[in-house]
A and B are shown apart, each in its own frame.
Chain A
Amino acid sequence: MSMLHTVNKSPFENSSISSCLAMCTNDSSVLFIEDGVISVMKSTKFSDLIMDSLSKYKIYALKPDLEARGLSLDNVIDGVEIVGYDEFVDLTTEHDSVQSWL
Chain B
Amino acid sequence: MKLGILINEGPYQHQASDTALQFVKSAIKKGHEIYRVFFYNDGVNNATRFATPPQDDRNITKEWSALAIEHNIDMVVCVAAAQRRGILDKGEAERNGKDSDNIEEGFRISGLGQLVEAGIQADRLITFGD
Contact = CB atoms under 8 A, between A and B. Distances in A.
A100 B27 contact: no
Interface string A42-65: 000000000000000000000011
A92 B3 contact: yes
Nearest to B130: A102
A98 B125 contact: yes
Contacts of B27: 89
Nearest to B22: A85
Interface of A: 8, 33-35, 64-65, 84-86, 88-90, 92-93, 97-98, 100, 102
A100 to B, nearest CB: 4
Given A34-B15, A97-B124, A98-B124, A89 B23 contact: yes
B29 interface: yes
Contacts of B22: 64, 85
Interface residues on B, range: 20 to 34
A98 B14 contact: no
A7 to B, nearest CB: 12
A55 B52 CA distance: 48
Contact of A92 (B15, B16, B124): B124
A86 B29 contact: yes
A65 B32 CA distance: 23
Contacts of B1: 93
B15 A89 contact: no
A30 B32 CA distance: 22
B127 interface: yes
Nearest to A33: B19
A62 B95 CA distance: 44
A84 B126 CA distance: 17
A89 B32 contact: yes
Contacts of B123: 93
Interface string B23-43: 101110110100000000000
A61 to B, nearest CB: 13
B125 to A, nearest CB: 7
B23 A93 contact: no
